[in-house]
A and B are shown apart, each in its own frame.
Chain A
Amino acid sequence: MEITEKDVAHTTSKLRFDDIKKGKVLSVKWEPKLNYAWDNGPALGRYLAELKNGRIIAKKCDKCHRTMLPPRMFCELCWRPTGRWVYVRDTGIVNTWVVSYVDWKAGRLNIEGGVRPFTPAIIEIDGTSKGMGILHLLDEVDPWKISRGMKVKAVWKPVKERIGAITDIKYFKPVK
């Protein structure tokens, strides 16, 4: 695999790309092949299946009475199996959020060129216990007008495009 000029450009190495290109230094590039097929198990499995149906499902602990999202087969605090499955709403409030000028690879977004900053948020979903919810994205809102406690609602992908993944929800948008 070739090392490109771009690979070298942003490193702190004193190497110049030319050194590599002309073979003045040995270069090795190895892209690991890391493929996994994780078994989701009954809790996460049903959570994802319900997202495909356009619904959010949680699971309750009968001891501490928390309604937990994402759902799990056991309560990690009470150390006992969880009980009932319960559907919760696809609305909630913003717990915390960020206005990000970089993407997930720390690459700079062209904000000056009109690209909207990336606005990930922790959303406490209505019907779950305090502090439980979904990490997702906010959109259809001015990034600088997002506020703590703001009410939001899921914007779902069209039924045909859903695959049983967290991205079946496109993003959350503000509601009155």
Chain B
Amino acid sequence: MTKRVAIVGIGTTGFRATTPDVSYRELTYEAATKAYVDAGIEPKDVDSFVSTAEDFFEGYSIADEYSPDQLGAVLKPIYTVPGDFIQSLASAYMMILSGIGDISVVQGLSKASNMLSLSEMTTFAMDPIYNRPLKESPHAVAGMEMARFMHESGATREQCAKVVVKNKRNALDNPLAGHGVLIDSDYVLNSEVISFPLTQMDISPHSDGAVVVVLAEEKTAKTLSDKPIWIRGIGWCSDTPGLETRNWGEAIYAQMAAEMSYKMAGIRHPRSEIDFAEINDEFSYKELQHLEAMRICRKKEAGPLTETGGTEITGEFPVNPSGGCLGVGNLYELNGGHKVLEVVRQLRGEAGKNQLKDITTGLAQGWRGVPTATGAVAILSN
């Protein structure tokens, strides 16, 4: 029988637009210290570490090398995944399954406020021969996807605006979130046009922060924690990078990653077998698109469900009760880490004012943002 692995420790700094008082070192140190105290361990007890970093975002080439100190991982097995945090989580999970050790640690960080040329860095992710010479903005890519998704799904700008209103409202009651505000749909619809149909308020503002998560094999997990959160399924997937050939309407990467995780978790009907989800809403329409891709909603259903309050904290299937990327902030490689953190807080009953009732299973999803088509999904249960 496959080993069972649980999350037994979580730590975070919380998420704010700027963090001028600390460097990335102190950010991770704070999150790591909290995660180790939460798990009742010290770094010496950890068998292997996985950090998450993307060189251009950190501003170091081979940013991997700057990971060990602030995690307590000096002279320990560690490597870095240049992807979403949930891909790192999958890696740390596999380390335990493969017998490398009983305890592994995952780290992710965002110092987005330190990136002064974010737009240029994202443009630099596009193909240099046949895309970049046209000088598209990264937001143009998101705008085109939004337009295609709306066409195929029937979702409206008003329904997308409702996602923004909901998530930013949820963030007001989440002390970890940095971008909570109370606004109405008109405010979103009338905000500055960026790449129509995408407006300024449809886009997640960026945030800084760090998350560290401790995983343990079943026997160790039960001795360490009285509230272990089990990893029941995990999946990840990448579509073709080609902007010309990818599926613009359906987020196939999210569908495939979710199906991989459902299969592992033995889930056939995600809507009824999962209680809530923290999913990538880096742009308003992504929440709707991802809901349909992951079969939480049927095709063309996510918009109407959102419009009628079905994804509110009090709704039949709460989505992003934490405030999501729109309310917490875009954390880049850490986006999936924030989702995992919030699912764990909910399943432990530690989500404060936003606490959901009678929940046993939650879904956390990450997407690597424009112009990527890479996503990862984790199914967690208490």
Contacts and interface: CB of A to CB of B under 8 A. Distances in A.
Given A28-B129, A36-B115, A79-B43, A42 B74 contact: no
Given A26-B129, A28-B129, A76-B70, A39 B117 contact: no
A39 B111 contact: yes
Interface string A64-108: 000000001110110100000000000000000000000000000
A57 B214 CA distance: 35
A39 B116 contact: no
8 contacts: A34-B120, A37-B113, A37-B114, A38-B23, A39-B19, A39-B111, A73-B26, A79-B44
Given A37-B116, A72-B25, 15 more contacts: A28-B129, A34-B56, A34-B59, A34-B121, A39-B113, A39-B114, A40-B23, A41-B21, A41-B23, A41-B25, A42-B21, A42-B22, A73-B29, A74-B69, A79-B42
Contacts of A145: none
A64 to B, nearest CB: 12
Contact of A39 (B22, B29, B42, B74): B22
Contact of A79 (B23, B26, B72): B72
Contacts of B25: 41, 43, 72-74
A135 to B, nearest CB: 15
A32 B61 CA distance: 14
A134 interface: no
Interface residues of A, number: 22
9 tightest CB-CB pairs across the interface, nearest first?
A41-B23, A35-B116, A76-B69, A33-B120, A36-B59, A35-B117, A33-B117, A79-B72, A41-B22
B74 A76 contact: yes
A20 interface: no
B133 interface: yes
B117 A44 contact: no
A144 interface: no
Contacts of A30: 124, 128, 132
Interface string B206-226: 000000000000000000000
A35 to B, nearest CB: 4
Contacts of B99: none
Nearest to A41: B23
Given A39-B114, A73-B26, A32 B124 contact: yes
Main secondary structure of the interface of A (DSSP, over half): loop
B170 to A, nearest CB: 28
Interface in B87-135: 111, 113-117, 120-121, 124, 128-129, 132-133
Contacts of B117: 33-35
B68 interface: yes
B70 to A, nearest CB: 7
Given A73-B25, A73-B29, A77-B74, A39 B20 contact: yes
B43 A42 contact: no
A102 B309 CA distance: 66
B128 A28 contact: yes
A174 B115 CA distance: 40
A33 B68 CA distance: 28
